[in-house]
Amino acid sequence: MGKLKKLLPVAALIGLCALIFSLRLYTYNEPLERDLTTYAVIAHEMLNGKNLYSDLWDHKPPATHVTYAAAELVAGYGRDSIFLMNVAAAVATLFVCYWAGSLAGGGRVAGCFAAAFWAFTSGNLALEGNQPNTEVFMNVFLAAGFAMLVRAEKRNLGARGAFIVGVLFAVASLYKQVVVVQPALLTIAYVACCDPKLRKRAFGDVLIIAATGVAIWALVLGYFFTRGSGSVFVESVFSYNRYYSSSLSHQALHNFRGWMALSPAILVVTLPVALVLAVGIVHGLTVAPQRHWILLLVYLIASEVAVLLPGWPFPHYYQLLLPPLAIGAGWSIELLWRVLPRAWSFVSYAAGAAACAVVVLVQLPSYFIPAENWSVEKYGNLFVETERFAGKIDSLLARDETFYEWGSESGLYFTTGRRPPSGIFFAFPMLGGPLKEKLSRRLIEDLKQSQPDLIVADVATMTLTEREHPVLNWFRENYKAFARTDNFLLFARNGSRLGQQVVAMRANGELRVLGAQLQQLK
């Protein structure tokens, strides 16, 4: 019987890992959204000798690009590396949730429930959780750091433990620096809730955590300054992000209202887990106050703050709430088992099973629609049509010819496998903000050097671009428009093979036929 009790959690974890693999495999061919393809293209260019920030512009810290580059080294450039990261991050968080759930008296059963709640909610369509955006990586490190703090409930972390926590939190912040909120509030709670006799040591632990984080960021800054791109790194990751988070225009555009931005679909899938968690928090904070419940509540609040800080209501930000919800729900089930009369203790496991069942039933219909429809449900037709349009680009250009996309649809580069002629392939920083003029000049210089044969302009981006924008002026001087689809305008370079072909087709009256062919994306 003892061996069976030990084997059941192992079997449960293996089964949950297989479930994660299967569910992610179902959407393997989903058209990828622009964040993922941007990271993949940047990573590919890094591996081909380009330097991040100085050659390849982005406003995210470097951890995501390094992760994508590492995955490409293992699985190659394309969907296989995306799938590898997707499954690896989800499985890693699964084990962290099991570990955290089994702490603080939770035991193996609580750990298994925490892992199950994570497995069932983490790939949710409404949360955009089935693809590896930055949140899936941050969750691994944030949840592991939280588990370390919980593990030290009856004693301090000590220098070694504090150093490990500092590394975990610092790495999470290198994916997005906004998640420093979780380490800051968790460490404050860690000191405030410890035994008064141990508070001085706890404060020392926090100093080590903070010093480790500062040291790691100093090393990153030193690396980029040593390579001569330190100032570009600072203005991209810090200066531009201040504008990104505070821009009144995007706040008004999205009419953001904090937690009310949660869609009904997100609420439905998280509500069963949250209800189970609420029972534990009420008991853990009122009837028998314990430090791990206070830490959990702080983790939840801090995660919500981190979701709101960027000022954009993107659903995938809410993935940061899933690990604390899953861990707390696991704890709640075990707590109910202990406090209910023996004759009613089965209610705790029944409640956990019912919550899991509701979560599964809510999401089940998503797995009866094609993977392509997942993209449509999340983002509309844009990324589906972008992927289809990539094939039209290949039909227009010879293999050694290049194109540049004025917009943000890096999926065109990813799908065609063609390298971008400039490392600035995200137009929005050139439409406004502190780097508008600087990046526009850089882009024009890059395009003068590379002379791409084709310019693909995103229609939505063109409507936001001022008519006399220097980049558009350069396009007008060197390119001629020849076709349009619902989402893209096409310009051929004057004197290029494609440009000469367009001139000949226009003379023969065939250009309208070409435009009709390009419009047929389905």
Nearest-5° Cα angle at 375, 34 to 461: 40
Write down the pTM of the prediction. 0.92
How far apart CA 95 and CA 447 sit, in angstroms, is 47
C-alpha distance from residue 462 to each of 100, 369, 418, 486, 498 (Å): 49, 33, 23, 13, 22
pLDDT in tens, the chain (522 residues): 456 556 777 888 999 999 999 999 999 999 999 999 999 999 999 999 999 999 999 999 999 999 999 999 999 999 999 999 999 999 999 999 999 999 977 788 899 999 999 999 999 999 999 999 999 999 999 999 999 999 987 678 989 999 999 999 999 999 999 899 999 999 999 998 887 888 889 899 999 999 999 999 999 999 999 999 999 999 999 989 888 776 544 443 443 344 445 567 777 788 888 888 888 888 877 765 588 899 999 999 999 999 888 777 788 999 999 999 999 999 999 888 887 777 676 788 888 899 999 999 999 999 999 999 999 999 989 999 999 999 889 889 999 999 999 999 999 999 999 999 999 988 999 998 899 999 999 999 999 999 999 999 999 999 999 999 999 999 999 999 988 888 899 999 999 999 888 888 776 765 554 555 555 544
Least Cα distance to 103 among 303, 290, 373 occurs for: 290
User: How does strand 488-493 pair with strand 454-458?
Assistant: antiparallel
Contacts of 330 (CB under 8 A, 6+ apart): 97, 101, 106, 110, 111, 112, 113, 114, 115, 117, 352
Contacts of 212 (CB under 8 A, 6+ apart): 162, 163, 165, 166, 167, 170
The answer to whether 179 touches 306, Cβ cutoff 8 Å, is yes
The token duo for 502 is 């367009």
Put residue 495 in one of left, alpha, beta given phi > 0 → left and psi -120 to 50 → alpha.
left
Q: 475, 455 in Cβ contact below 8 A?
A: yes
DSSP-derived secondary structure letter, 56? B
Residue with tokens 């409640």: 351
The pLDDT, as a whole number, for residue 289 is 57
Question: In 3-state terms, what secondary structure has residue 45?
Answer: helix
State residue 522's pLDDT score: 45
Q: What is the DSSP string of 313-344?
A: --GGGGGGGHHHHHHHHHHHHHHHHHHS-GGG
Alpha-carbon distance of 330 to 97, in angstroms, equals 9
Q: d(Cα 95, Cα 90) in Å, to the nearest integer?
A: 9
CA atoms of 50 and 87, how far apart (whole Å): 28
pLDDT at 258: 42
Rg (CA), the chain: 25
Angle in degrees, CA 223, 225, 230, rounded to 5: 110
Instruction: Report yes or no: 325 and 262 within 8 Å, Cβ to Cβ.
Output: no
Reading the block at residue 285, the tokens are 């904070």
| Rounded alpha-carbon distances, angstroms, from residue 400 to 115, 453, 483 | 49, 10, 22
Give the domain ranges of the chain: 2-368, 381-519
